[in-house]
């Protein structure tokens, strides 16, 4: 090869740049979903959403119309509040207790921060979608196969299975308080290291004053399941020292989470303490442990039960010399039973047929028509979206 051609080749090589093949961003999926029996739907997403695309018109809760069938033209869209923060989407509507409802997230409008439409086709037990942007997330609540209660706390979520078949009196009592919302805005008032965290008896009122949860009266003790780590049991009337309470049939509205396998002495102490539930998953156990690890203060001057009161910043509370209940306490904002989730049958079947006919059409004409119809149903133009 001549010197001239070698130089030309060298110069050509010097002008070439490294090229990196970049994978296109994947559209946002619904990663997890929870629908409860009091009209709240909660979702986590795989990619941050553009909050300007969220409203009660694009994220809605519906009930079945006069035909009693979901996914038909007479479904009724309820006034739905929409909250979004840090990858968590929450919808709330005034649905009668234990009434089945439908949730629809409109992929023709809802986008992620990359501008891609929601990839929302429902898949049981898996993240939503078919790998392509576009596709409504459209589901209905279904009769649960297991009785699961979900604690929403300021430290995270705890899912707990209830032992209704073996502890019917205790579980019926628990579900009564839960279903009437008695434990909304309550807090964990006791934390004993390597022993228990306890709540259910006290709340924070709208005026930021601590109050007491009403009592429906004592219930019969139902011991028999071991007080092991991750189980949940009923406390008794002397909530400050459940291990030594003498009246075995004095449980009312308070419960405690067992933190240790060493708590088995509670199985026989004073007739035994009734375990009625079990923390379901590792994430829930982590939240339980996180609450247990929070520092405590002695606030027995407020109530004798608060001598080991967990607070978010114990040194700050001690230095301040006062308690700000709404800001300092570990709140339980909601406890509700979870429904199972299924695809809205008529809509899912129609969407599948449209997708097969035209893969380029992310939203069916029937879905667009339904969205227009439902906007007319709800005439209040106020939006409720939390960025």
Per-residue pLDDT tens for 21-31?
A: 556 789 999 99
Q: Assess if residue 218 is contained within a domain.
A: yes
Domain count, the chain: 2
Q: Within this chain, do residues 197 and 175 fall inside the same structural domain, yes or no? A: yes
71-80, 281-290, 378-387: range with lowest mean pLDDT = 378-387
Residue-level pLDDT at 270: 85
Q: Within this chain, do residues 249 and 379 fall inside the same structural domain, yes or no? A: no
User: pLDDT class for 346, splitting at 50, 70, 90?
Assistant: confident
Domain of residue 136, CATH code: 2.60.40.1220
Domain end (from 316, 337, 358): 337
Q: Within this chain, do residues 229 and 256 fall inside the same structural domain, yes or no? A: yes
| The model's pTM | 0.83
Q: Assess if residue 25 is contained within a domain.
A: no
Q: Within this chain, do residues 139 and 164 fall inside the same structural domain, yes or no? A: no
Per-residue pLDDT tens for 212-260?
A: 999 999 999 999 999 999 999 999 976 455 444 568 999 999 999 999 9
Q: Assess if residue 274 is contained within a domain.
A: yes
Per-residue pLDDT tens for 110-157?
A: 999 999 999 999 999 999 999 999 999 999 999 999 999 999 999 999
Which among 293, 277, 341 has a CA at the least distance from the CA of 138?
341
How far apart, in whole angstroms, are the C-alpha atoms of residue 296 and residue 300?
12
Q: Within this chain, do residues 332 and 351 fall inside the same structural domain, yes or no? A: no
How far apart, in whole angstroms, are the C-alpha atoms of residue 245 and residue 376?
59
Q: Assess if residue 9 is contained within a domain.
A: no
Residue-level pLDDT at 371: 34
Average model confidence (pLDDT) across the chain: 87
| DSSP codes, 217-249 | --B-----S---TTEEEE--S-TT-GGG---TT
Q: Within this chain, do residues 101 and 177 fall inside the same structural domain, yes or no? A: no
Q: Within this chain, do residues 323 and 361 fall inside the same structural domain, yes or no? A: no
**Quick one: what percent of the chain has pLDDT higher than 70?**
81
User: pLDDT class for 365, splitting at 50, 70, 90?
Assistant: very low
Dihedral sign for Cα 279, 280, 286, 287, please. negative
Q: Within this chain, do residues 170 and 293 fall inside the same structural domain, yes or no? A: yes
Q: Within this chain, do residues 209 and 90 fall inside the same structural domain, yes or no? A: no
Q: Within this chain, do residues 171 and 306 fall inside the same structural domain, yes or no? A: yes
User: pLDDT class for 208, splitting at 50, 70, 90?
Assistant: very high
Residue-level pLDDT at 81: 97
Q: Assess if residue 4 is contained within a domain.
A: no
From the CB of residue 35, how many other CB atoms can be counted at a distance below 10 Å? 27
Are 240 and 305 in contact by the 8 Å Cβ rule? The answer is: yes
Q: Which of helix, strand or coil describes residue 345?
A: helix
Residue-level pLDDT at 21: 56
Answer yes or no: is pLDDT of 364 > 80.
no
User: pLDDT class for 269, splitting at 50, 70, 90?
Assistant: confident
Which residues constitute the domain of residue 188?
Answer: 148-337
Answer yes or no: is pLDDT of 93 > 80.
yes
Are 280 and 159 in contact by the 8 Å Cβ rule? The answer is: yes
Answer yes or no: is pLDDT of 290 > 80.
yes
Residue-level pLDDT at 2: 52
User: pLDDT class for 383, splitting at 50, 70, 90?
Assistant: very low
Residue-level pLDDT at 237: 76
How far apart, in whole angstroms, are the C-alpha atoms of residue 157 and residue 159?
7
Q: Within this chain, do residues 128 and 176 fall inside the same structural domain, yes or no? A: no
Per-residue pLDDT tens for 166-185?
A: 999 999 999 999 999 999 99
Answer yes or no: is pLDDT of 336 > 50.
yes
Q: Assess if residue 12 is contained within a domain.
A: no
Q: Write out the E strands in 65-168.
A: 76-77, 80-85, 88-93, 102-105, 137-142, 148-153, 156-162
Q: Within this chain, do residues 288 and 367 fall inside the same structural domain, yes or no? A: no
**Quick one: what percent of the chain has pLDDT higher than 90?**
78
Q: Assess if residue 116 is contained within a domain.
A: yes
Domain of residue 219, CATH code: 2.40.100.10
Q: Assess if residue 359 is contained within a domain.
A: yes
């Amino acid at each position: 090869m001549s010197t001239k051609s070698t130089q030309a080749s060298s110069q050509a090589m010097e002008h070439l740049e490294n090229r990196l093949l970049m994978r296109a961003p994947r559209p946002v999926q619904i990663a997890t979903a929870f629908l409860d029996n009091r009209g709240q739907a909660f979702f986590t997403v795989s990619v941050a959403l553009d909050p300007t695309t969220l409203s009660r018109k694009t994220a809605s809760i519906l009930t079945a119309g006069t035909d009693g069938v979901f996914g038909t033209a007479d479904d009724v869209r309820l006034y739905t509040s929409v909250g979004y923060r840090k990858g968590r989407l929450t919808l709330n509507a005034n649905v009668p207790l234990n009434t089945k409802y439908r949730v629809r997230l409109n992929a023709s409008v809802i986008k992620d921060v990359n501008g891609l439409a929601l990839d929302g086709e429902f898949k049981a037990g898996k993240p939503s979608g078919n790998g392509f942007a576009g596709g409504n997330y459209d589901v209905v609540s279904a009769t649960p196969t297991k009785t699961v209660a979900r604690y929403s706390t300021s430290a995270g979520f705890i899912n707990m299975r209830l032992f209704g078949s073996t502890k019917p009196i205790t579980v019926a009592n628990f579900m009564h308080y839960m279903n009437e919302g008695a434990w909304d805005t309550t807090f964990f008032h006791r934390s004993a290291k390597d022993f228990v965290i306890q709540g259910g008896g006290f709340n924070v009122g709208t005026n930021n004053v601590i109050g007491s949860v009403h009592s429906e009266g004592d219930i019969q003790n139902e011991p028999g399941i071991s007080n092991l780590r991750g189980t949940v049991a009923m406390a008794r009337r002397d909530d400050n020292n459940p291990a030594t309470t003498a009246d075995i049939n004095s449980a009312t509205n308070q419960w405690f989470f067992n933190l240790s396998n060493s708590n088995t002495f509670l199985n026989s102490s004073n007739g035994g303490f009734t375990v009625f539930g079990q923390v379901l998953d590792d994430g829930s156990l982590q939240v339980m442990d996180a609450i247990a690890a929070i520092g405590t203060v002695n606030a027995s001057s407020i109530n004798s039960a608060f001598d080991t009161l967990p607070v978010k910043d114990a040194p700050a509370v001690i230095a301040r010399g006062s308690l700000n209940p709404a800001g300092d306490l570990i709140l339980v904002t909601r406890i509700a039973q979870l429904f199972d989730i299924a695809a809205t049958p008529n809509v899912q079947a129609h969407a599948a047929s449209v997708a097969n006919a035209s893969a380029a059409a992310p939203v069916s004409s029937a879905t667009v028509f339904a969205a227009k119809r439902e906007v007319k149903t709800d005439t209040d133009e106020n939006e409720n979206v939390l960025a």
